[in-house]
Amino acid sequence: MFKEKLKYTIEIVLLIGLFLGYYYYINPSKEVIKPVGNIEENLKIYFIDVGQADSTLIYNNGEYSLIDAGNNKDGNKLIKYFKSLGINKFKYVITTHVHEDHIGGMDNIIREFDIEHFLMPDTYTDNMTYTEVLKELKKKNIIIETPNINDTFTMEEINFKVLSIGNDLENLNDSSIVLKANYKNTNYLFTGDATKEVEKKIMNQDIQSDLIKVSHHGSYDATGLDFLEKVNPKYAIISVEKDNDYHFPHDIVLNNLNKLNIKIYRTDLDGTIIASSDGDNIIFEKIKTDTNQK
Ligand SMILES: [Zn+2]
């Protein structure tokens, strides 16, 4: 009798062990801080690893928006990734500014997906990829919408506010569309490549955010300590290529982030980074990518 009980206990322990082993096998690198509810009800922000470039996908309640589309070579990769997520339409496609590392894959995106609104600053550049973007927009009869500072727009339960936009042809980085997104009790700051000049201008607005997409790939010309103190984020995302020619992210930016105990995620080290939120907590997931394997 005792022997049988012991055998039964051992079997149960083994089964639990197997289950836990399997669970951790299928969930290897998720940094879950606190579980959130049904993912369908949640906000998800994908900071896609596009090497030395930016591309951010935002999901809420079945709708998607996109901020920037990587370099020219990333176009097909992005299409494949978005199709694997079941995307066929974007509510907003936002081009923060017209540098190649932000609009490179945009012509592919315009060709492949339905786009309700296409937002871009009123500037131009003579690179080929910009001409391609204009050509594709024209083919699909998509109008370029240029927002003004303080304009707001919504996607499901997310409220976006334009904090900055410019039309300075001499300084395309500072013409970036800078956006703050609010989702329930959480806030997110998308900075494009705006520099400290823009930071100075928006310093006294409501810029507090839980998460910041660090401007200009971690360049020293942005992300000043006084600005960061005002934003007061818990998390920072740096979209950057491993061993890039510009030596991004610069030490001064990393030091500023560390001084304020801000948790840093980097696409060169972490791959694609997914931030999910139930409106109170933000959790992170990292997907290893091959972009940074040199
Ligand atoms: Zn850039």
pLDDT in tens, the chain (294 residues): 555 665 666 565 555 555 544 444 444 444 444 444 444 459 999 999 999 999 999 999 999 999 999 999 999 999 999 999 999 999 999 999 999 999 999 999 999 999 999 999 999 998 899 999 999 999 999 999 999 999 999 999 999 999 999 999 999 999 999 999 999 999 999 999 999 999 999 999 999 999 999 999 999 999 999 999 999 999 999 999 999 999 999 999 999 999 999 999 999 999 999 999 999 999 999 998 876 654
CA of 18 to the centre of ligand 1 (A): 47
Q: Which long-range contacts (CB under 8 A, 24 or more apart) does 215-219 make?
A: 215/176, 215/191, 216/173, 216/191, 216/248, 217/52, 217/54, 217/193, 217/244, 217/246, 217/248, 217/249, 218/248, 218/249, 218/250, 218/253, 218/254, 219/193, 219/195, 219/246, 219/248, 219/249, 219/250, 219/253
Q: How far is the CA of 239 from the centre of ligand 1 (A)?
A: 9
Residue 4: predicted pLDDT? 62
Q: What pLDDT score was predicted for residue 7?
A: 64
Distance 125 CA to ligand 1 centre (A): 14
Task: Tell me how far the alpha carbon of residue 163 lies from the centroid of ligand 1, in angstroms.
Answer: 18
Q: How far is the CA of 238 from the centre of ligand 1 (A)?
A: 11
Query: How many Å lie between the centroid of ligand 1 and the Cα of residue 101?
Result: 5
Q: From the CA of 241, how far away is ligand 1's center (Å)?
A: 11
For residue 88, report the distance from its CA to the centre of ligand 1, in Å: 26
Measured in angstroms, how far is the CA atom of residue 129 from the centroid of ligand 1?
14
The CATH code of the domain at 36-287 is 3.60.15.10
- Report pTM: 0.86
Q: Where do the domains of the chain lie?
A: 1-30, 36-287
For residue 99, how far is its CA from the centre of ligand 1 (angstroms)?
A: 7
